[in-house]
Amino acid sequence: MAGAALGALQLGRRAPIGVSTELAIALSLAGLLLAVGICVRQVVSAGAGEQLLQVAGTRWGTARRARRTASRYAVRVTPPPDHPPVPDHPPVSGHPPVSRSEPELDVETVRAAAKEFLELYHGEDPHAGPLEPRLTEVMREIDTTGTYWHTAEELAFGARVAWRNNKRCIGRLYWHSLQVRDLRTVSDAGSVAAHCFEHLSTAYNGGKIRPMISVFAPETPSRPAPRIWNELLIRYAGYEQADGRTLGDPRYRAFTSKLIQRGWRPPERPGAFDVLPLVVETVEEGPRMFQLPDQVVHEVPLEHPELKWFADLQLRWHAVPVISNNRLEIGGVSYPAAPFNGWYMGTEIGARNLGDSDRYDMVPVVAERMGLDTSHEATLWRDQALVEINRAVLHSFTTNGVTVTDHHTESRRFLIHLEKEQRAGRGCPADWSWIVPPMSGSQTPVFHRYYEADNQVPNFVNDPDSTCRALRGGPPAFP
């Protein structure tokens, strides 16, 4: 970001001889605007799927978590400067393409969105029946209540197309296979949490991960829908240490601190991979915390196929990446609580969660254990260590029978999806900066082409206020 701004400032000075001062200034201003745009985009992107152990007492009551074995290798990293954290590279299930505050739609906007969606649904599904009777029924319902109720078939179609339209997701080839759990009658915090835990177990499926979405009560003019604060159902705590460093995941240091202030009690011996409680908020109950039962938290211990010492680091990662704070939009109806998942692409864990310098920052640690020359960057020690971390992730998931994919295979699959969409006469929006993997990008086929980046609906949306709750632990949606 700083480099972009510097380059913009230097444009005027480096204008070729014969270029007018006015033009040079205009070019410089254009560059500054571009740099500002980059900055805004980064901030917006950063700001960006059993037994219920309910937290008793007050809204923010506390409960003890069953003791988990803390990693002996407690990862400690120096926190980044005070700016919004860089978002995870999206799970295969994808991150939403848009970040904006949730809109208050007027009746005419809802009518137009409903009509567009129903035309899409009836146009693509030959079993949907005639459009006009359903359209008339929906318009009457919108005029009466300000919204409408999707049929189960419309909901399933809309959720799957939202995945198909998600321009930041590389794994959309399987959008047809998304299993849709219709939980629209569920709106209280305890039931939402219980169904989220069931989602984790069902999606895990003994290691054969199922793409799945659980759709809870929609937003209506008469009652706000529930909110899930956590970015993913399973996230690891980040504990601020006395020396200013972080034990665990620095991305969730502020969130962890806020939950502790509200009454959450970490394990007796805090570790680098302590699962945070799930926070569910409703307008009647406010935010409530629910500890995830051990039996729904499926984790993979990481080891390397050749480097036997790698297991001594006691690294691990959870198996099912359920994105939980995104809003599902279908035909003018908003579902703020709709956790969904695909399966992990190895680089999301190895190159981003464990590799990023403002996350677990394991690259220098692994490089040192490998005995690499880290005296200067030209030895490419970072690249060597990063490859081995990613090999460990893929090896460990595969050895433990948990679905995972590598970035080369998934890149080829995405181009198959792109071709299928083109043959179906549909556009396939894609954000190049998210589709290209965060490792060995030029070695993947998705690197060497351009994409249309239009936002299409239905889709998943990440609102700035929901991102703030996920990273900062507030403020509540319903003060």
Encode pLDDT of 126-140 as tens digits: 999 999 999 999 999
User: pLDDT for 308-339, tens place per residue?
Assistant: 999 999 999 999 999 999 999 999 999 999 99
If residue 108 lies in a helix (H) or strand (E), which one and from where to where? helix 107-124
Token couple for 60:
């923010």
Q: Please check whether residue 318 is in contact with residue 299, taking contact to mean a CB–CB distance below 8 angstroms.
A: yes
The pLDDT value given to residue 236: 98
pLDDT confidence band for 102 (50 / 70 / 90): low
Question: Is 421:227 a contact under the CB 8 Å cutoff?
Answer: no
Q: pLDDT for 165-181, tens place per residue? A: 999 999 999 999 999 99
The answer on pLDDT for 267 being more than 70 is yes
Going by their DSSP bridges, the two strands 98-99 and 340-341 should be labelled as unpaired
Structure confidence by residue, pLDDT tens digits, 368-407: 999 999 999 999 999 999 999 999 999 999 999 999 999 9
- In the chain, which residues fall in CATH 3.90.340.10? 51-472
Active site residue 343: yes
Among candidate residues 229, 343, 381, 434, the one labeled active-site is 343
Q: Does residue 172 have an active-site annotation?
A: yes
| Average pLDDT over every residue of 238-246 | 95
CATH class of 51-472: alpha beta
Residue 287 predicted with pLDDT over 50: yes
Q: Is 348 a catalytic residue?
A: yes
- pLDDT for the residue numbered 222: 94
Mean pLDDT computed over every residue of the chain: 84
Q: Which of 348, 352, 391, 428 is catalytic?
A: 348
pLDDT reading at 477 higher than 90: yes
As a whole number of angstroms, the distance between CA 7 and CA 3 comes to 6
Does the pLDDT value for residue 46 go beyond 80? no
Q: Binning pLDDT at 50, 70 and 90, where does residue 105 land?
A: confident
Handedness of CA 141, 340, 452, 419 (dihedral sign): negative
The CA distances from residue 99 to 160, 281, 330, in Å, are 20, 21, 16
Q: How confident is the model at residue 103 (pLDDT cuts 50, 70, 90)?
A: low
Contact 114, 145 (CB under 8 A): no
Whether residue 79 has pLDDT greater than 90:
no
Q: Where do we find the tokens 């240490």?
A: 241
Residue of 102, 111, 164, 169 with catalytic role: 169
